[in-house]
Amino acid sequence: MDNWFEVEKIDTDTYAISEYKHWEETHSYLLCGTNNAILIDTGLGVANIKKVIDSLTALPVMVITTHVHWDHIGGHKHFDNIAVHEAEKEWLSTQFPISLQVVKNNLTCKPCIFPTDFNPDEYRIYQGVPQRIFRDGDCLDLGNRLLTVIHTPGHSPGHCCFYEQERKYLYSGDLIYRGCLDAFYPTTDPKLFRQSVKKVQQLDINRILPAHHQLTIPIDIVNRIATAFDSLEDSKQLRQGSGIFDFGDFQIHI
């Protein structure tokens, strides 16, 4: 794997598996309970993330998907127990919303030293039938550890965050991170994005675990992102085609 993944321990039974060598700087998260484990997203798919997971736990693993975008489902092919929100079941099993060539262009658009056994020409978008469909409010039980599904559409129709009430962790996917928050694709909805930020704003959060870029981000970024969306709504710019708006450590592209 050419040390493609970097593993960081969040606590005794939670790990971040990161792909810092690629411009997307994706994070997947392994959560271990007493009975089973959950892997939140599987990254780009340019190296075998299952080998990393197998080195960290012997528990049975279910993959849960924040959303069905290529940079979050790349390693799904290595697992046989996959869950996705009902709104994006067809994206996973039938038709991904953008073409393979566009995905390859995104994958290789910036310089990157890929693993030696990876061939971009052979890259494919994962397609398969999920074993479980989840909905807003569903509770996932790992054994002595619970995770709640928070449906947060906007970046995509079925985007979900996952909230661990006991530890007050928010696994925020592409809803909250330091970087450019995207709501400009045809399948995005900036108004729903705003509503979703306000939804997670109501949670009691001690740590945000984002899907991209810096792993450690301040809790107050949720409130600042909510305020930024409010300002765009008030100025009637919360509509696709308005452009990129810079708010310091994050941007909003609509």
- We report the CATH number of the domain holding residue 18 as 3.60.15.10
Average pLDDT, the chain: 97
Q: Lowest mean pLDDT of 66-70, 90-94, 95-99, name the range.
A: 95-99
Provide the CA 213 distance to its chain's centre, in angstroms: 11
Residue with tokens 């039974």: 13
pLDDT one-digit tens code per residue, 131-150: 999 999 999 999 999 999 99
Q: Give residue 53's pLDDT.
A: 98
Q: CA distances (Å), 122 to each of 104, 117, 125, 154, in order?
A: 10, 11, 10, 31
Residue percentage of the chain with pLDDT more than 70? 99
According to DSSP, the residues that pair with 30 across neighbouring strands are 15, 39
pLDDT one-digit tens code per residue, 159-207: 999 999 999 999 999 999 999 999 999 999 999 999 999 999 999 999 9
210 lies in a domain?
Answer: yes
Q: Give residue 1's pLDDT.
A: 46
Q: How do beta strands 244-246 and 160-164 pair?
A: unpaired
248 lies in a domain?
Answer: no
pLDDT average, residue stretch 115-120: 94
229 lies in a domain?
Answer: no
Using the predicted structure, report yes or no on whether residue 56 has a pLDDT greater than 70. Answer: yes
**pLDDT class for 2, splitting at 50, 70, 90?**
low
Q: How far apart are CA 155 and CA 182, in angstroms?
A: 6
Residue percentage of the chain with pLDDT more than 90? 97
49 lies in a domain?
Answer: yes
Q: Give residue 96's pLDDT.
A: 87
The domain tally of the chain equals 1
Q: How far apart are CA 38 and CA 34, in angstroms?
A: 11
Enter the tokens of residue 103.
């995905």
pLDDT average, residue stretch 216-226: 98
pLDDT average, residue stretch 209-213: 98
39 lies in a domain?
Answer: yes
143 lies in a domain?
Answer: yes
**pLDDT class for 112, splitting at 50, 70, 90?**
very high
Enter the tokens of residue 114.
């890929």
Q: Give residue 243's pLDDT.
A: 97
152 lies in a domain?
Answer: yes
Q: What is the DSSP string of 200-252?
A: HHTS--SEEEESBS-S---TTHHHHHHHHHHHHHHTT--STTS-EEE-SS-EE
pTM over 0.95: yes
Print the domain residue range for 56: 6-180+202-218
**pLDDT class for 97, splitting at 50, 70, 90?**
confident
Q: CA distances (Å), 200 to each of 41, 136, 151, in order?
A: 19, 12, 10
245 lies in a domain?
Answer: no
Which helix (H) or strand (E) segment holds residue 148: the answer is: strand 146-151
pLDDT average, residue stretch 40-53: 98
Q: CA distances (Å), 218 to each of 103, 177, 210, 215, 241, in order?
A: 31, 9, 11, 10, 29
Q: Give residue 95's pLDDT.
A: 84
Q: Give residue 19's pLDDT.
A: 98
